Amino acid sequence: MTARADFLARIRGEMAKTRGLFPAAAAERPARPRERLDVLRRELIERWPQSLERFRVEFERVAGVFHRVASASEVPAVLEGICRAGGAHSVVTWATPRLGIDAGPTLAAAGIAVHAMPATVPPLEERRRLREVIAHAEVGVTGAELAIAETGTLVLRSAAGQPRSTSLLPACHVALFDRAALVETLEQVGIALEAWHEGVPPEGQGAVINFITGPSRTADIELTLTRGVHGPKEVHAIFVDAGLRAGG
């Protein structure tokens, strides 16, 4: 096994042989990403209806199913509808405080079990049990940090109470979002990513950020498109007009 110093020394040795093919610079990063993101968010909030419409078009283009409700209180009913349509009996969700809604009562009344993920990490036995629950759930409900209008993409961050598998193992993934999540372009996402990694990460932050653009798919057999390969076969996005966090 090569040591770090030797490996890098070899690289430096090769680099010294040439000035390169042409003068070139990497992309310019924002100097103060968090500030820049705040400014961006204020600009974006002015244009949210257009962004939402663009998001809907792109999301549907990649076979996402779009829903819109006036307030968070209407979400459980939509979830119930999705569960019934798919014959789902078991739902896993992000931890309730993370999600901004509690669909437990509504769905329980319809005979659908709801398992909210814990906000802290339980002991090993409980984690194993949860893994089983998640593996058998048919619907996974999460929030979304960002909704990218340019591509119809949902961006989810893993965190305490926001495990990765909720949006991955169940065959149906439902993401809740509101106008604060809307961004227009991939370039703007870059600003968010720079901001998220600036300074000390917030409490409970996880190791993974997932960009999700529609249901899982492959065209590996004769370039024929099929969905639901390993990840979800269906992706729903529910936009809540009035916002998800109580009081905005």
Partner 1 sequence: MSEPLITTPLRERAQQALGDRFLHEALDIATTKFIDLRREAFGDFPQGEGLRDRARAIKEATLQQLDRHLERLIDNVERLGGHVHFATTADEARDVILDIARRTGARMAVKSKSMATEEIHLNDALAAAGVTPVETDLGEYIIQLAHERPSHIIAPAIHKTKGQVAELFARELKREVAADPEVLTRIARAELREKFLQADLGITGANFAVADTGTVVLVTNEGNGRMVTSLPRVHVAVMGVEKVVPSMTDLMVFLSVLAKSATGQKLSVYTTLVQGPRRAHELEGPDEFHLVLLDNGRIAQIGGALREALYCLRCGACLNVCPVYRQIGGHAYGYTYPGPIGILLTAMLNGTRSVKELAHASSLCGACADACPVRIDIPKMLIELRKEVDEAKLAPWPERVVFKAFARLLRLPALYRLGGPLGRLLQRPFVRGGRIRALPLFFGHWTRTRDLPPVAARTFQERWTALEREIR
By CB under 8 A, what part of segment 85-104 binds partner 1? none
- CA 208, 199, 145, 120 dihedral sign is positive
Cα three-residue angle 103-106-111, rounded to 5 degrees: 110
Cα three-residue angle 80-160-208, rounded to 5 degrees: 95
Tokens 């629950």 correspond to 133
Q: Shortest approach of partner 1 to residue 84 CB, angstroms?
A: 23
Q: Decide if residue 170 touches partner 1 (CB under 8 A).
A: no
Greatest Cα-to-Cα distance within the chain, rounded to the nearest angstrom: 72
Task: Considering the complex, state which of residue 6 and residue 70 has its C-beta at the smaller distance from partner 1.
Answer: 6
- Count of beta carbons in the 10 Å neighbourhood of residue 97: 11
Task: Considering the complex, state which of residue 107 and residue 148 has its C-beta at the smaller distance from partner 1.
Answer: 148
Q: Decide if residue 131 touches partner 1 (CB under 8 A).
A: yes
Considering only residues 36-75, where is the footprint of partner 1 by CB under 8 A? 58, 62
Task: Considering the complex, state which of residue 217 and residue 243 has its C-beta at the smaller distance from partner 1.
Answer: 217
Q: Decide if residue 165 touches partner 1 (CB under 8 A).
A: yes
Distance CA 234, CA 53 (A): 20
Considering only residues 218-237, where is the footprint of partner 1 by CB under 8 A? 218-224, 226, 228-232
Which of 65, 130, 133, 180 binds partner 1 (CB under 8 A)? It is 130
Which region, judged by CB under 8 A, interacts with partner 1, from 70-78, 85-93, 139-147, 203-211? 203-211
Distances (CA, A) of 86 to 73, 91, 157, 172: 22, 12, 26, 8
- Count of beta carbons in the 10 Å neighbourhood of residue 77: 14
Which of 186, 241, 242, 245 binds partner 1 (CB under 8 A)? It is 186
Which region, judged by CB under 8 A, interacts with partner 1, from 37-45, 82-90, 105-113, 198-206? 198-206
Which of 158, 177, 178, 183 binds partner 1 (CB under 8 A)? It is 158
Q: Decide if residue 212 touches partner 1 (CB under 8 A).
A: yes
- The letter for the amino acid at 149 is A
